[in-house]
Chain A
Amino acid sequence: MVRKQDSIYALATPEGVSAISVIRVTGLSISEKFFNFLGIERKKPGVFLRKITLGDFSEKCLILYFKAPRSYTGEDVIEIQSHGNMVIVSEIFDVLENFGFREAQAGEFTKRGFLNNKFTIDEAESVAVNVSASSVEELRMLEDFRLGKVGHFFSNVTKKIEGLLVTIESQLDFSDEGAVGSISKNNIKKEIAVLKGDLDNFLRKYSPFQSEMMKKKVVLVGQPNVGKSSLFNSLVGGKVALVSNTPGTTRDVVRKNLFLKGVEITLEDTAGIRTGQVSEIEKMGMGLTNESYETSDLCLEVFEPEQKIKKKFKDSVLIINKSDLLKVHTKKNALYVSAKTGAGIEELRKLIYKYIKPDPKLSLVTERVYKAVVKANNSIESVRGDDIFEITAQQLRDALLELRYVYGNFSNEKILDRVFSKFCIGK
């Protein structure tokens, strides 16, 4: 059932200057006047190039019109693509407000789509995850989730459990009817084994997604003045960290996020570590360096050619900067780079990616879904099938209850419905 409610709009592209901006509107009662304003017809969905009047100027826009119910929300959806200029965008907003649209709340388009049965709860959830997913890699891993394969899995599993319950319940409530046949312990056991297999496979294949879990932290450490900050700037491609010839310029940890082949990493530049007479403030900086190291996924320990190369950080990767000062690169287990000339920087990127790239086999689902399956699995695990059948029934019911959070409510009535349609019950 498609329900009626007010029309809403939202900017689908980020705020700020860009090549184009996309403004989406959705609603079931978009006024005829608005269609006229855009110069399109309610009956004709499609793509149109239209000049629209905005206050004192006009703007050529690309209009995409999806007619209900064949749209993202299940309602009429219109996309207006204009130049990516916030002045134009806000003029369009004014126009929309005048036509009675209201600005959408976060996630409202998806919610409408869900409520209009355009997708299942896990698909809707996956949209939210998509928006918060921070890299191409994550999106690849969430693909099953996004494509509804996970939802399909749930509908299969719940159907199987319900089927088993129907067999067992019909035996419990209608054993004196003669019509229900007798229960086969072996069949029950077999079906339980299949169910266990399905749930086990799921838990093996998928991992719970936490939006922070995919971000990797890479930290640059080393003695003062070996050029950590210069390297940092080369990697992030800009002057982010302050660079000078004075040792100990960096005191605080400097952070910047960057993408390496679709994986998001946080790169951290730290205060140099040295012994001897240091100021209180430098000491504090070094403390921060250690903290940063402790929480990192990869530590790059930077040296300069003149230095005696001796690792101070366990499991770090050796990087020798200022390679432009050297003729030969003698150390085999180190990577030679030059922040100054850019030599070796590309190799450094590859090296970082090699260490932090995610498991290519990993697939993700949301944490909520994962937990529900774990709990359902616990219930199914304890089913023996050779037990007193009302206990088996109880465990199957428990499993369905766990799954209701991801696959909708189960009701006693539903089981009875199936019993009645399967068996000729009744004296």
Chain B
Amino acid sequence: MTYIFDILIIGGGHAGVEAALIARKMGRHVGLVSLDHTKTGRMSCNPAVGGMGKTHIAREVDALGGYIAEATDLAGIQFRVLNRKKGPAVQATRAQTDKDLYEKIIQKKLKEEDVVMIDDEIINFKKEKKEIKSALSKNNEYFAKSYVLTTGTFLNGSILIGHEKNEGGRINERKSSGLESFFKALELKTGRLKTGTPPRLNKKSVDFSSLEEQPGDNEKLFMSYLCGKNKHPKQTSCYITYTNQKTHKIIKNNIKKSAMYSGLISGVGPRYCPSIEDKIMRFKDKEQHQIFVEPEGLQANTIYPNGISTSLPKEIQEEYIRSIKGFEKADITQFGYAVEYDYIDPRNLDKTLRIKKLKNLFLAGQINGTTGYEEAAGQGIVAGINASLLLDNEQWIPKRQDSYLGVLVDDLTRFGVSEPYRMFTSRAEHRLLLRQDNADERMIKYAKKFNTLDPLREEIYSKKQTEKNKARHILEKTKANVGGRKITGTDLCKRNDFSLKDISKITQLKGESFKQTYFDIRYSGYIKKQQRELEKIKNLEEFKLGLIFDYKEVIGLSGELQEKLNHHKPKDLQEVTNIEGITPAAISVLTIHLKKIDAIKAKH
């Protein structure tokens, strides 16, 4: 059968969903092909959305008109604010979600928005020169103007438990095949990564009475800017337990049986999410490791013990699980496993996430070497927007200085990855500027441009701006007597000896919009300094490197740097400073070389 769409999305994970929904919002006719549409939007890892850096992305996606934050609000069964005692630039709302509910909500939304869902497996693309003409499955052909591929860990995926190795991208699911040879023929650089999950436990077999309870924050919290529009289901608690010496002994004694340590796995796993084997072997002096006991849902019979992912054999998993407090009689409903998969080196992509070698194929999500639902959703929306814009011969590159989406895309396409890439706030140079509370302010101009701004979001936004302007006005008008001098409320916000509470008392201002105004002012000095830094950087941007075709001709650069520069082909000196291993000496060598070129040009 033949299908014709504007945009074809391949893969129904968090990247594919976001790409499909935003393309619909932009008025495109969208098809979504996945192996099994009932698994669309599945949370195959822990049932939670948000975290430092991750929430920031989710909020930007939301402000652009994406859906991850709304779905989280609708499926969230516990909400907390991380770093509540610190400043807003490093605060993040995190939600535990009901896994089943989450995917139902996503699937419902896709249906409502008329995304055409098809169960099929794409095995090849037909292309003419640099343009994809159609996507092919065994029986069908799909024509579209642009394509977004989001096949996650399904590329050459294998599942490992102890000495068992099975092909597949997720447990009990087929692996997608055929596309490997397509990528091979394109001669794209690929790499191999690894990730893992813990065993899931039967809720009824866990003794919660002996565990530490961790309730949600006692406050209505929302992931989306739409706040109360999306009602939370019933809220619940998480629990905390710990590994112990006995657990560690069991694991140490059986370490050779782990797929990670038997040499079965060659892919690189994330350092910030090590398996329990790694934690015990690498941090030998730690007597215990924390485990977050997270419910997979309100009705669900399973819990997700976060912090003990593993690739040990089944019987060892059973043994170490039962050595843990509260899990003494726990039954494993699904064993932990490691997934090893191929990813496409994202340096093959431009900053719209399009494969440089092709005109109309975009990649998003784990296939680009990232991890996390939010990172996937973020790429999904960038790829979806660009796939749509491509039809009008336009593009959008999110910038490092105005969003975490920009940091994400820039990091990926410029540096590639050496482990599954996860966002952290420390990756952003402009952290004080990129806050979860002002993602709407940073993104609104783009949402307007793409026509993806809901009337409700716009209404909420302008209401907030009116309140903030009022707060700013009152702060400017307020004069406080400090040590015999009259000081404006605005200046009080900049001082260390006056807290938010003090100023609230003086000005009678309160609420979220006052708090945001306060921090806008509080951070403003530093933000200005950063902006000056940015301007300085612009100077380096003015040194265009387009005339250097081969860096081997630049005398004075080491061979290693010549190769790196030939690989990166930086546009200007600013991009050079971001390449790892670049020394100040190399920059000056390049500057001199550029001057030489200029001199030669002037002669002719």
Bound pair: A and B? yes
Q: Which residues of A contact B (CB under 8 A)?
A: 1, 3-5, 108, 111, 114-115, 121, 124, 169, 172-179, 384, 386-391, 393-395, 397-398, 401, 404-406, 408-409, 411-413, 415-416, 420, 424-427
- A390-B432, A394-B431, A409-B577 are known contacts. Are A415 and B426 too (CB-CB below 8 A)? yes
Quote the shortest CB–CB distance from B308 to chain A (angstroms): 9
Binds A, one of B203-211, B316-324, B477-485, B579-587: B579-587
Contacts of B558 on A, CB cut-off 8 Å?
A: 1, 3, 115
Q: B559 touching A173 by the CB < 8 A rule? A: no
- A1-B559, A404-B584, A427-B307 are known contacts. Are A394 and B526 too (CB-CB below 8 A)? yes
Quote the shortest CB–CB distance from B56 to chain A (angstroms): 11
Q: B556 touching A416 by the CB < 8 A rule? A: no
Contacts of B556 on A, CB cut-off 8 Å?
A: 108, 111, 115
Contacts of A176 on B, CB cut-off 8 Å?
A: 51-52, 82, 94
Residues of chain B at interface, number, CB under 8 A? 52
Contacts of B272 on A, CB cut-off 8 Å?
A: 174, 420, 425-426
Q: A424 touching B279 by the CB < 8 A rule? A: yes
Q: Does B533 contact A (CB under 8 A)?
A: yes
Quote the shortest CB–CB distance from A330 to chain B (angstroms): 62
Quote the shortest CB–CB distance from B503 to chain A (angstroms): 15
Q: B584 touching A121 by the CB < 8 A rule? A: yes
Per-residue interface assignment for chain B, residues 491 to 521, with 1 indicating a CB less than 8 Å from any chain A CB and 0 otherwise: 0000010000000000000000000000000
The CA of A389 and the CA of B426, in the complex, are separated in Å by 12
Q: B271 touching A425 by the CB < 8 A rule? A: yes
Quote the shortest CB–CB distance from B562 to chain A (angstroms): 8
Q: A178 touching B496 by the CB < 8 A rule? A: no
The CA of A316 and the CA of B429, in the complex, are separated in Å by 58
Select from chain B the residue with minimum beta-carbon distance to A176. B82
Contacts of A173 on B, CB cut-off 8 Å?
A: 52-53, 90, 424-426
- A173-B424, A408-B584, A426-B274 are known contacts. Are A384 and B560 too (CB-CB below 8 A)? no
Q: Does B306 contact A (CB under 8 A)?
A: yes
Q: A390 touching B431 by the CB < 8 A rule? A: yes
- A424-B279, A424-B282, A427-B292 are known contacts. Are A412 and B271 too (CB-CB below 8 A)? no
Q: B426 touching A178 by the CB < 8 A rule? A: no
Contacts of A405 on B, CB cut-off 8 Å?
A: 584
Contacts of A401 on B, CB cut-off 8 Å?
A: 533
Q: B496 touching A387 by the CB < 8 A rule? A: yes
Quote the shortest CB–CB distance from B570 to chain A (angstroms): 14
Q: B426 touching A412 by the CB < 8 A rule? A: yes
A sample of 7 inter-chain contacts (CB < 8 A) reads: A1-B558, A173-B90, A394-B431, A425-B274, A426-B272, A426-B307, A427-B46
Quote the shortest CB–CB distance from B54 to chain A (angstroms): 10
Quote the shortest CB–CB distance from B97 to chain A (angstroms): 15
Given A3-B559, A390-B90, A390-B425; 6 other pairs, CB 8 A cutoff: A3-B558, A5-B555, A386-B496, A416-B424, A424-B279, A426-B273
Contact of B427 among A5, A412, A426 (CB under 8 A): A412
Q: A427 touching B306 by the CB < 8 A rule? A: yes
Per-residue interface assignment for chain B, residues 258 to 290, with 1 indicating a CB less than 8 Å from any chain A CB and 0 otherwise: 000000000000111110000100110010011
Q: What secondary structure prevails in chain A residues at the interface with B?
A: helix
Q: Does B215 contact A (CB under 8 A)?
A: no
Contacts of B559 on A, CB cut-off 8 Å?
A: 1, 3-4
Select from chain B the residue with minimum beta-carbon distance to A417. B271
Q: Does B461 contact A (CB under 8 A)?
A: no
Q: A424 touching B286 by the CB < 8 A rule? A: yes
Per-residue interface assignment for chain B, residues 49 to 76, with 1 indicating a CB less than 8 Å from any chain A CB and 0 otherwise: 0011100000000000000000000000
Contacts of A1 on B, CB cut-off 8 Å?
A: 558-560
The CA of A412 and the CA of B414, in the complex, are separated in Å by 14
Contacts of A408 on B, CB cut-off 8 Å?
A: 583-584
Q: A409 touching B529 by the CB < 8 A rule? A: no
B residues 1-57 touching A (CB-CB < 8 Å): 46, 51-53
Q: Does B89 contact A (CB under 8 A)?
A: yes
Q: A172 touching B90 by the CB < 8 A rule? A: yes
The CA of A409 and the CA of B51, in the complex, are separated in Å by 29
Contacts of A121 on B, CB cut-off 8 Å?
A: 583-585
Q: B432 touching A391 by the CB < 8 A rule? A: yes
The CA of A408 and the CA of B587, in the complex, are separated in Å by 11
Instruction: Report which residue of B496, B529, B558, B580 has the largest number of chain A beta carbons within 10 angstroms of its beta carbon.
Output: B558
Contacts of B46 on A, CB cut-off 8 Å?
A: 427
Q: B580 touching A411 by the CB < 8 A rule? A: yes
Select from chain B the residue with minimum beta-carbon distance to A168. B426
Q: Does B86 contact A (CB under 8 A)?
A: yes
Q: A394 touching B533 by the CB < 8 A rule? A: no
Select from chain B the residue with minimum beta-carbon distance to A415. B426
Contacts of A426 on B, CB cut-off 8 Å?
A: 270-274, 279, 307
Q: A179 touching B585 by the CB < 8 A rule? A: no
Contacts of B282 on A, CB cut-off 8 Å?
A: 424
Contacts of B289 on A, CB cut-off 8 Å?
A: 179, 424
Select from chain A the residue with minimum beta-carbon distance to B278. A426
Q: A178 touching B83 by the CB < 8 A rule? A: no
Quote the shortest CB–CB distance from A200 to chain B (angstroms): 22
- A111-B556, A175-B82 are known contacts. Are A389 and B271 too (CB-CB below 8 A)? no
- A172-B52, A172-B90, A391-B87 are known contacts. Are A398 and B529 too (CB-CB below 8 A)? yes
Quote the shortest CB–CB distance from A188 to chain B (angstroms): 13
- Interface pairs A-B: 8 shortest CB-CB: A388-B87, A178-B290, A3-B559, A420-B271, A424-B283, A427-B306, A427-B307, A426-B273
Q: B523 touching A391 by the CB < 8 A rule? A: yes
Quote the shortest CB–CB distance from B347 to chain A (angstroms): 15
Contact of A416 among B87, B274, B426 (CB under 8 A): B426
Select from chain A the residue with minimum beta-carbon distance to B583. A408
Q: B432 touching A394 by the CB < 8 A rule? A: yes
The CA of A394 and the CA of B86, in the complex, are separated in Å by 14
The CA of A152 and the CA of B48, in the complex, are separated in Å by 47
Contact of B273 among A172, A395, A404, A427 (CB under 8 A): A427
The CA of A177 and the CA of B272, in the complex, are separated in Å by 10
Contacts of A169 on B, CB cut-off 8 Å?
A: 426
- A3-B558, A176-B82 are known contacts. Are A389 and B274 too (CB-CB below 8 A)? no
Quote the shortest CB–CB distance from B325 to chain A (angstroms): 15
Quote the shortest CB–CB distance from A126 to chain B (angstroms): 14
The CA of A303 and the CA of B89, in the complex, are separated in Å by 75
Contact of B560 among A3, A124, A390, A394 (CB under 8 A): A3
The CA of A425 and the CA of B419, in the complex, are separated in Å by 15
Quote the shortest CB–CB distance from B234 to chain A (angstroms): 23
Select from chain B the residue with minimum beta-carbon distance to A401. B533
Quote the shortest CB–CB distance from A104 to chain B (angstroms): 11
Per-residue interface assignment for chain B, residues 558 to 573, with 1 indicating a CB less than 8 Å from any chain A CB and 0 otherwise: 1110000000000000
Instruction: Report which residue of A390, A404, A425 has the largest number of chain B beta carbons within 10 angstroms of its beta carbon.
Output: A390
The CA of A137 and the CA of B273, in the complex, are separated in Å by 58
Quote the shortest CB–CB distance from A57 to chain B (angstroms): 35
The CA of A127 and the CA of B557, in the complex, are separated in Å by 19
The CA of A398 and the CA of B426, in the complex, are separated in Å by 13
Contacts of A386 on B, CB cut-off 8 Å?
A: 496
The CA of A108 and the CA of B585, in the complex, are separated in Å by 12
The CA of A2 and the CA of B577, in the complex, are separated in Å by 22
Select from chain A the residue with minimum beta-carbon distance to B557. A115
The CA of A4 and the CA of B560, in the complex, are separated in Å by 11
Contacts of A4 on B, CB cut-off 8 Å?
A: 559
Q: A391 touching B580 by the CB < 8 A rule? A: no
The CA of A405 and the CA of B52, in the complex, are separated in Å by 31
Contacts of B427 on A, CB cut-off 8 Å?
A: 412, 416
Q: A115 touching B290 by the CB < 8 A rule? A: no
Instruction: Report which residue of B53, B306, B526, B582 has the largest number of chain A beta carbons within 10 angstroms of its beta carbon.
Output: B526
The CA of A3 and the CA of B431, in the complex, are separated in Å by 39
The CA of A325 and the CA of B94, in the complex, are separated in Å by 99
Q: B307 touching A390 by the CB < 8 A rule? A: no
The CA of A59 and the CA of B306, in the complex, are separated in Å by 80
Q: A179 touching B496 by the CB < 8 A rule? A: no
The CA of A3 and the CA of B563, in the complex, are separated in Å by 12
Select from chain B the residue with minimum beta-carbon distance to A107. B556
Contact of A409 among B292, B496, B582 (CB under 8 A): B582
- A173-B424, A420-B272 are known contacts. Are A389 and B584 too (CB-CB below 8 A)? no
